[in-house]
Amino acid sequence: MTTRFQANYGFERSDVTLATWRTAPYSRWSFSHADEIVPSALIPATVERPERPVDATDLLSRSLSDGLAGKPSIGAFLDYAHTDAFVLMKRGAVVAEHYAPQSDINQRHIVFSISKSLTALVIATLENDGLMDPQAPVTSLLPEAAGSAYGDCTIRDVLDMRVSLAFDEAYLNTDGAYARYRRATLWNPAVAGQPAETLLSFLLTLKKADHAHGGPHFYASPNSDLLGILIERATGERYADVMSERLWKPLGAYHHASITVDAEGSARAAGGISVTARDLARVGEMLRQDGMVDGKRIVPKVWIGDMLTAGDHQAWVDGHPNFFPNGRYRSQWYQSGEADGAFAAIGIHGQWLYVDPSTETVVVKLSSQPNPLDDELKHDNFAFFRALSALDL
């Protein structure tokens, strides 16, 4: 007999395992139910409040002169780009949104490496309160990092992805360091005969590459997981509780968030956060408003100003010559370097939070893109967001 689950998704719930959850077609369901797959901790909002989507039928049927990769309408582009949830804000109001059949306005969705950017906003509040100094060495909070790649770098090196690290961010790796990393975070199944590692024990095995810290931008997710551990060392509290009290509740989030954790409860700060699209749009709008929500400061203005302007362009170009050619990277956020001042948080499998201050636009796009990277689609998405920003709505 066909179950309701199979009728809805085309596969059974039992088919979704640690070995399959990040692959199509299973990701269409699992990316909105990560806490059923990987142990997770709740990041509470003050109180949960259900939301209703705006009617955007007319806008979604609209064609754009550019930025649609040959697709006839905004809605057609969203389908082409494997979109699960989409929110468009203009001047602080939601003007359009779209949810695929397997998604919902009140359903959390994993945002992968957008988690890095959210983690950095928490660190901004810790610096403001004198609990963390980005210029301090990592060992000031984590002395056991001595002897690892992190033994002689600063927290700022980690924030800006300028750690000299002998590590390959190979998402499809099945037998090397990246596979060990995924197993340590409980994102991949254990392998018989391989030692069980925790996130921290894995991080402390990483070695320095053959150049100094502070060189070219070198994207490595373990850096951001280290930031989550540093948050816990600086505060003496669990990451999920710090995120809740310093960002999620003050933001006025409508829904609880969640984050995956390892066997010791260490949070996957690099990629394990799940949030609703609307709440992620609220983060973007808060940043567009220089860190304010309803007259209350959430993130220090000086941190946002530094994040938007202080990234090293040459370090970025040396590390990423084929994307954002005018860009920069600072404090776990991407700066486009374009005249409009647009900046973004980006996650694999097509997760985006895009902010264009010049047109007062915020775009959220959460996806179940089969290819974790897909450079062509990344460029298409960027063109799409710029076209949306140019709309006068």
Catalytic residues: 113
- For the chain, the farthest-separated pair of C-alpha atoms sits apart, in whole angstroms, at 61
Count of Cβ atoms closer than 10 Å to residue 377 Cβ: 18
Strands 296-297 and 292-293, sheet pairing:
antiparallel
| CA distances for 377 relative to 39, 257, 328, angstroms | 31, 27, 20
How buried is residue 70: exposed, middle or buried, by Cβ count under 10 Å (0-12/13-18/19+)? exposed
Yes or no: say if 373 and 171 are a contact pair by the CB < 8 Å rule. Answer: yes
The DSSP secondary structure of 335-391, one letter per residue, reads E--STT--EEEEETTTEEEEEEGGGTEEEEEEE--SSS--HHHHHHHHHHHHHHHH-
Q: Which of 135, 55, 39, 48 minimizes the C-alpha distance to 97?
A: 55
> How far apart (Å, rounded) are the C-alpha atoms in residues 155 and 157?
5
b or e along 306-326 (b: 16 or more beta carbons within 10 Å of the residue's beta carbon)?
A: ebbeebbbebbbeebeeebee
> How far apart (Å, rounded) are the C-alpha atoms in residues 100 and 104?
7
Residue 45 makes CB contacts below 8 A (sequence gap 6+) with 244, 248, 249, 253, 254, 255, 256, 257, 279
Q: Which of 81, 112, 92, 189 minimizes the C-alpha distance to 351?
A: 112
Here the tokens at position 89 are 């804000």
> How far apart (Å, rounded) are the C-alpha atoms in residues 153 and 138?
6
Q: Which residue has the tokens 């689950």?
A: 5
Q: What are the two backbone dihedrals, phi and then psi, of residue 197, each rounded to the nearest 5 degrees?
A: -110, 150
